[in-house]
Amino acid sequence: MATIEECRAALGKLSDNMQGVEGDVRAAAALDRSVSCHITDLDVTFAGRLTGGRIEVEETLPGPPRDKARIRLAMAGDDLVALVGGDLNFATAWGSGRVKLEASLLDLFRLRKLL
């Protein structure tokens, strides 16, 4: 089972990866939205913002998200680490329910370029 530190590092790596994208993917990464990532097996939530092409984690909170972010992810810690490491395909994980993503329809269309 991934630790809180490994999950935070995975979010940092995802943020770094988003900085290097170009074209339509860059436009999707440039959204300015509140974001939360609930790590279900650790019952911890990373809350922050997607802004300037980066994910800025502002808080690590126990339990599920307290506020409803505009972009909400939920998954096990190992799945987060595997997704960022390239060992788990997002579409497959989302389709099987291992990863949950909630956002407005417009944001989902933009985010599909990232994922």
Q: In this predicted model, what pLDDT tens digit does every residue of 92-112 receive, in sequence order?
A: 999 999 999 999 998 888 777
Bridge partners of 59, per DSSP, are: 47
Can you tell me the distance from the alpha carbon of 79 to that of 93, in angstroms, rounded to the nearest whole number? Answer: 8
Q: What is the mean pLDDT of the chain?
A: 90
The whole-number pLDDT of residue 92 equals 93
The whole-number pLDDT of residue 15 equals 86
Question: What is the tens place of the pLDDT at every residue in 38-58?
Answer: 999 999 999 999 988 889 999
Arithmetic mean of pLDDT, 84-99:
94
What are the residue ranges of helices labelled H in the chain?
A: 4-19, 23-29, 77-85, 90-95, 105-111
The whole-number pLDDT of residue 112 equals 74
Cα angle at 18 between 71 and 3, to 5 degrees? Answer: 70
The whole-number pLDDT of residue 31 equals 82
The whole-number pLDDT of residue 95 equals 93
